[in-house]
Structure 1
Amino acid sequence: MQKKQRRHWVKKWTSIFQNRRERITPWILLAPSLSGVCIFVLLPFADVVRRSFLNAVGSEFVGLKNYKSVLQNTAFELAAGNTVRFLAVCLPLLLSISLFLGLLLLRAGEKSGILKSGFLLPMAVPAGSVVLFWQLFFDKGGILNELLEQAGVRGADYMNTPKAFGVLVAVYLWKNLGYDMILWISGLLGIPDSLYEAAKMDGANGVMCFVHITCPLLLPTAFLTGILSLVNAFKVFREAYMIAGNYPHDSIYMLQNLFNNWFLKLDMQKMTAAAVMLALILGLILIGSQKIEEKWGRGM
């Protein structure tokens, strides 16, 4: 009996230690990354939130005064409106065009290797080279106007007119098209061919297969691609800044331009309040997208 009890207690304590070790091991492995995120991201952002409720010196509590001044600022209204407009135009275009190209390249099979490399090339080109090319192409005396004049069409000043918005959209699409296309292709490759074969045996055509098989099974990929595209849309400031400078045309004056100008002026009150509002909106979008994805996933 004593031996059995001893074995029982040994097994029990051994299982307890194993369970604890299994729980602790992931946290030990994550500790360096979590420490870096806390020190360089979470703590600075917490300080930004604190400063958004203080005056410029950072000692007197002013409540929501900084937030009101941001919302009443005409430059903020212009930048926020342009950013929302940019996202509303670019994201649907990018997602739809990249999905279409992904379907075409999958049908092309092995012949699409060179095309895939071509679409991914903009990601490997340095931003400075990209901006120089777009400046030469869209400048008032640039390549595009030269070609139009040779064809008998009058050129335009693209960077100092509302057409600058179209230039920025083109830069964003050209830069991110290949990346999104690869994401779509990875999602398409995860759909079993047996589903399409069974549907065709039941008399379904290509459009029906796309609507009833491809679209539902691509929903997780669509959410991931959409979120990454949203994040990349906020990185377009580098190209916009290098093409048009601190104060570009009003049609492409984005939130990133505004933050940069406030930073140069050391306007900490407005900058911190606007940063907190932007982070809150993006967080709500991400949480809402995740909830929708989970809901649709359960419905499938």
Structure 2
Amino acid sequence: MNKSKNLISFLIFIAPSFLGVIIFVLMPFGDVLKRSFSTAITGQFVGVSNYKTIFQNQAFLLAVKNTLRFTFICIPLLVVIGFLIAWPLSKLKNAGIIKSIYLFPLAMPTATIVLVWKMVFYKQGFLNILLTKIGEWLGTWGMIQTDYLDTEAAFWVLVCSYIWKNTGYTVVLWLAGIAGIPAEFLDAAKVDGAGSIQRIWYIVLPNLKGSLYTIVILSFLNSFKIYREAYLVAGAYPHKSIYLLQHTFNNWFVNLELDKMAAAAICTGGFLFIIILLLQKMWDRDEAS
């Protein structure tokens, strides 16, 4: 009897959330799935024709290449840089102000960040002024007026912006994980003669797998949100090095090519889902071992 009451209470408790997921997540996703097999105007069933079309579309393939390149460069850099900052901070007793400084970029509006980009990297920007002054001082080059956001350098500007903006929460997550490691473990390793690098490798990092999993997942998802900065800087058709999946989706939406957009959305969602499942499987296997 108690089990039945507990079950009923549990179902009543989760019903609102579960209903919300059905209405606002599963039903829209089902509609997108249906549209991916239909024409945009008439809704006629066309099978996998939309999927063939997007994988023959050069703009989509370029966007996939750039997005994957951006993700697989940024995530390792963010994880490593965050830890290299968090480890020394974890030894400070009063690091609250420093942590607040690292979190400050998250509080800055995207439009403000974009304005800073333009002030630094456009033809008459601060970077070119600085390089010109250095060239005049050394007597080796003249005036420099490179529009970095219209060259291959735009990709690395985007990478630096992503790392600058997201390092703060990465540092905080690393610090939370480091704080959960029993001090006795580190003290015992130190007594046994382990050096600082050995303590980090054999004690600290194995105990931070949970933090690493959380950081990687959040960083992976956030890497797909960098579109706002790229769009505000260079518009719907930026330099090819920073033409991302979201640019493709936006341009298809403006042109009402909803069938292609639906097929691409299903592929992107499926890819993200598979990656998260693989990370979860790796995490569960490490936990079991």
The TM-score range, normalised by the shorter chain, is over 0.9
Tell me which of 133, 140, 152 is aligned to 2:116.
133
For 2:124, what is the secondary structure of its paired residue?
A: coil
Tell me which of 106, 114, 121 is aligned to 1:123.
106
Q: 1:1-300 to 2 correspondence within 5 Å? A: 16=1, 18-110=2-94, 112-152=95-135, 154=144, 156-299=146-289
Deviates more, 1:58-67 or 1:251-260: 58-67
- What's the offset of the Cα at 1:25? 2.3
- What's the offset of the Cα at 1:105? 0.9
- What's the offset of the Cα at 1:114? 2.0
Aligned length: 282
Q: Within 2, Cα distance between the matches of 1:141 and 1:155?
A: 6
Q: Is the 8 A contact 1:95 1:226 kept in 2?
A: yes
Q: Within 2, Cα distance between the matches of 1:58 and 1:151?
A: 62
Q: Is the 8 A contact 1:160 1:249 kept in 2?
A: yes
Match for 1:200: what amino acid?
K
- The runs of 5 or more residues in structure 2 that have no matched partner are 136-140
Deviates more, 1:142-151 or 1:286-295: 142-151
Q: Within 2, Cα distance between the matches of 1:76 and 1:37?
A: 30
For 1:187, what is the secondary structure of its paired residue?
A: helix
For 1:234, what is the secondary structure of its paired residue?
A: helix
Q: Within 2, Cα distance between the matches of 1:74 and 1:246?
A: 16
The RMSD of aligned alpha carbons is: 1.3
- What's the offset of the Cα at 1:209? 0.9
Counterpart of 1:3 in structure 2 is none
Q: Which structure's CA Rg is the greater one? A: 1
For 1:90, what is the secondary structure of its paired residue?
A: helix
- What's the offset of the Cα at 1:58? 4.7
Q: Within 2, Cα distance between the matches of 1:21 and 1:144?
A: 68
Deviations 1:223-265 (A, max 9, x none): 1110000011111111111111110000000001110100101
Q: Within 2, Cα distance between the matches of 1:218 and 1:234?
A: 25
- What's the offset of the Cα at 1:24? 2.7
- What's the offset of the Cα at 1:66? 0.5
- What's the offset of the Cα at 1:102? 0.6
Q: Is the 8 A contact 1:48 1:276 kept in 2?
A: yes
Q: Within 2, Cα distance between the matches of 1:206 and 1:199?
A: 9
Q: Within 1, Cα distance between the matches of 2:115 and 2:14?
A: 41
| % identical aligned pairs | 44
Counterpart of 1:7 in structure 2 is none
Consecutive aligned runs of 4 or more in structure 1 exceeding 3 Å deviation? none
- What's the offset of the Cα at 1:113? 2.2
For 2:5, what is the secondary structure of its paired residue?
A: helix
Q: Is the 8 A contact 1:148 1:155 kept in 2?
A: no
- The runs of 5 or more residues in structure 1 that have no matched partner are 1-15
- What's the offset of the Cα at 1:155? 5.2
Q: Within 1, Cα distance between the matches of 2:11 and 2:125?
A: 56
Q: Within 1, Cα distance between the matches of 2:152 and 2:217?
A: 28
Q: Within 1, Cα distance between the matches of 2:107 and 2:10?
A: 34
**Per the alignment, do residues 58 and 183 of structure 1 end up closer, same or farther by CA in structure 2, a change over 3 Å counting?**
farther
